[in-house]
Chains A and B, each alone.
Chain A
Amino acid sequence: MVMGNSQIWAPWIIDDIHAKAELGRYRIRGFSSFQKVTHFDDLVFLSTGLTRFPLEGYRESCNTRTVIGSRFAKEPLVLETPIYITGMSYGALSRNAKVALARAATKVGTATCTGDGGMLPDEREAAQKLIYQVLPSRYGFNPHHLMRADAAEIVVGQGAKPGTGGLLMGIKVLDHIAQMRDLPVGIDQRSPTRHPDWLGPDDLGIKIEQLREATDWRVPISVKLGACRVADDVKLAAKAGADAIVIDSMLAGTGASAEVLLDHSGIPTVPAIVLAREALRELGLYGKVSLIASGGIRSGADAAKALALGADAVAIGIAALIALNCNKEIPGADFEKEVGVKAGYCHHCQTGRCPVGITTQDPELEKRLDPEEGAERVANFINSMTMEMALLTRSLGKGDVHSLEPEDLAALTIEASAMARVPLAGTKKVFGM
């Protein structure tokens, strides 16, 4: 045995201790959890054979239209695909990145979401459908913007940092960001995690009613939860009157989070969806309250499996940024010089030195992202994902992505079987049941 092979004292553990010994505080980074956990790769679809027949995979129509929030809202969100872009703040992201994502969403008939920094006018203009987040910080929150939103999302928790508020390091809190958030320029912003005006689930019900009154019951109101005590949280949010519930798993992305929260809190996306589905079913609200899954959705296959497990839609964050060129060597960028690592290894969004102009407020770096070209790439990516979903759905003999169900899946590991509540491949056994 050699030192480098130790499971307990692995080289990166030793490096982590060295770093904290210098730093004297918890470490902060961007991207997502690096833990090895059960994910959609541990599930496979059981396509058709003789027991049922397929639809022509390359030809026949397959519905991907998705309606979110029809429980109480007069104007639910109608999307052409069950994939939309999750909330990422203007501040964590550059203006060009926010505008590119908004234009991409519009191109493919889906929605994007504001994030913890208020509504950027250019984003509102570019997005045909925009979800306005109501966060504990209320940075830049404006009732006029609420009235212009197509949906409102009350953020209770984020998967990358459940039980904690957002972080934006001082290098990104430049004049324009500080002004929008009413903060001193250059501070290391640590957002609150408790809402200022409500605390418990009964209060949340009144808060939801307030937003409905302000918007005349027009737009859907969703509640976003970090996936921890999923069953109870989902029941409480549904009882509070949410039109939709977003379950953001431990695999969700972030521009900056304490590493200890990224890797050591929350549960993966697969069990989170199942627990949420069952919680809604117990209340008789499955199919009435829309369920949205987010965290580690990378492809049409991931999205299709999320829908098969019970989600109505998925929200993507990191995948959309990668489509924008995150972690890609592009002309003018020098990853090793600018963020100290090669392209493909960067998770340094918190530094504000993004070599491809996405997670930066530096005007020179931001120029490296052309909003129109970026929008085209993200739109292509979402279209690709949607086509992948449709292809899988037809191979299962179904003409609507919302007809996918757990019965279409098998698990490749015992853990996945237990978490997804589907049989282990080659057996009839659902583990843990």
Chain B
Amino acid sequence: MVDLDASTLSTTDLNRRIKELAGNGVDEIRVLNPQARHNIAVGILAPCKITIEGSVGYYAASLMDGPEVTIRGNAGWALGENLMSGKIVLTRDAGASVASSIRGGEVFVSGNAGARAGISMKGGSLIIRGNAGFLTGFMMQKGKIIICGDVGEAVGDSMYEGAIYVAGKIGSLGSDAKITEVTEDELISVWETLERYGIIESVRGGQGRERVERHKDRYAFTKIVSAKRLYHFDSLERLEKRVI
């Protein structure tokens, strides 16, 4: 493991050092004294483990492909933005737009998340142990969001595909979002994800329906998807009708 003391480095030098170490095959990098600075661990495209010991500002661990990042603290806006693959674990609260536009990988928030969590997601998973703010899943295209607490107003507004699972209260559904039934397989998949993070105790034992019946009241989720009413304009121009 290599330690980098952020208090002695500019953000640019810090990112350069992380890229250099990751590119040279160093398995574990620890960033000390991040001082809630913006843009820490940006653009890391090599697999490695990065632990940030403290809170971070905007865009922490963003534009990444491959690393596993643990942040011991809070994060500002756009944590993990445009993640391609890899994993991010945040031990406390996330600001707005966590996991925005991610295309793969997994982002886990141990506390609450602000507004627009999972906005514009194009794949991957976002798991929030606490509550999430308004416009969560706005224009989500693919992927999965799991919220163990409550979610704010306009959840899933204008989403295309993907699914949002909410255990707590729903402030309101956004435009073109609807509630649909959770299948047994989906519920078990959600539970297994939560088990991995120690959010729920083991729901093992039993198979399929039996297992679901045993735990469903305790670990119930509401599933939100697109109603697909905004997929198409409902009319064409005269000329378009003729030529299309």
Contact = CB atoms under 8 A, between A and B. Distances in A.
Task: State yes or no: do A and B come from one complex.
Answer: yes
A210 interface: yes
A213 B101 contact: no
A214 B63 contact: yes
A340 interface: yes
Interface of B: 11-12, 15-16, 38-39, 42-43, 45, 57-59, 62-65, 77-78, 81-82, 84, 97, 100-101, 103, 116, 119-120, 122-123, 138-139, 141-142, 160-161, 230-240, 242-244
A142 B84 contact: yes
Given A19-B237, A351-B240, A197 B101 contact: yes
B123 to A, nearest CB: 7
A92 to B, nearest CB: 16
24 contacts: A22-B238, A23-B236, A25-B234, A27-B237, A143-B63, A144-B45, A147-B43, A182-B141, A183-B141, A190-B230, A192-B139, A196-B100, A196-B116, A196-B119, A196-B139, A197-B77, A203-B58, A209-B38, A210-B38, A210-B58, A213-B39, A339-B243, A351-B240, A352-B244
A146 interface: yes
Contacts of A203: 58, 77
A8 B119 CA distance: 45
A143 B43 contact: yes
Nearest to A182: B122
A175 interface: no
Given A25-B235, A143-B82, 12 more contacts: A23-B237, A141-B82, A147-B45, A182-B123, A184-B231, A187-B160, A197-B78, A197-B100, A206-B58, A209-B11, A351-B243, A352-B244
Nearest to B76: A206
Contacts of A340: 239, 242-243
Contacts, number: 136
* Most chain B CB within a 10 A radius of its CB, from A196, A198, A209, A212: A196
Contacts of A207: 59
A260 to B, nearest CB: 14
A23 B235 contact: yes
A210 B82 CA distance: 12
Contact of B59 (A171, A197, A217, A352): A197
What is the interface of chain B mostly: helix, strand, loop, or mixed? loop
Contact of B235 (A24, A141, A143, A213): A24
A184 to B, nearest CB: 6
Contacts of A141: 82, 101, 103
A392 B11 CA distance: 47
A338 B84 contact: no
A409 B240 CA distance: 44
Contacts of A170: 232
A122 interface: no
A339 B38 CA distance: 51
B134 to A, nearest CB: 13
A196 B97 contact: yes
B120 A143 contact: no
A141 B102 CA distance: 10
Contacts of A192: 120, 139
A206 B39 contact: yes
B42 to A, nearest CB: 4
Interface in A164-196: 169-171, 181-184, 187-188, 190, 192, 196
B120 A138 contact: yes
A106 interface: no
Contact of A188 (B11, B77, B123, B232): B232
Interface of A: 19, 22-25, 27-28, 137-138, 141-144, 146-147, 169-171, 181-184, 187-188, 190, 192, 196-198, 203, 206-207, 209-210, 212-217, 338-340, 348, 350-353
Contacts of A198: 58, 77-78, 97
Contacts of B101: 138, 141, 196-197
A143 B84 contact: yes
Residue of B100, B242, B244 contacting most chain A CB atoms (<10 Å): B244
Contact of A210 (B39, B65, B244): B39
A340 B244 CA distance: 11
Contacts of A190: 230
Q: Give the residue among B62, B139, B142, B240 with the most A Cβ atoms within 10 A.
A: B240
Nearest to A352: B244
B122 to A, nearest CB: 4
User: Top 6 closest A-B pairs, CB basis?
Assistant: A214-B43, A197-B78, A182-B122, A196-B100, A196-B120, A143-B63
A291 to B, nearest CB: 27
Nearest to B141: A182
B189 to A, nearest CB: 21
Nearest to B58: A206
A326 to B, nearest CB: 17
Nearest to B78: A197
Nearest to B79: A197
A206 B235 contact: no
B239 A348 contact: yes
B43 A188 contact: no
B12 A213 contact: yes
Nearest to B241: A22
A209 B238 contact: no
A339 B240 CA distance: 8
A142 B65 CA distance: 9
Given A142-B84, A210-B63, A183 B12 contact: no
A12 B155 CA distance: 42
Contacts of B43: 143, 146-147, 213-215
A210 B233 CA distance: 37
Nearest to B81: A197
Contacts of A213: 11-12, 15, 39, 42-43
B142 A182 contact: yes
B230 to A, nearest CB: 8
Contacts of A137: 120
Contacts of A210: 38-39, 42, 58-59, 62-63, 81
**Residue among B43, B62, B78, B122 with most chain A CB within 10 A:** B43
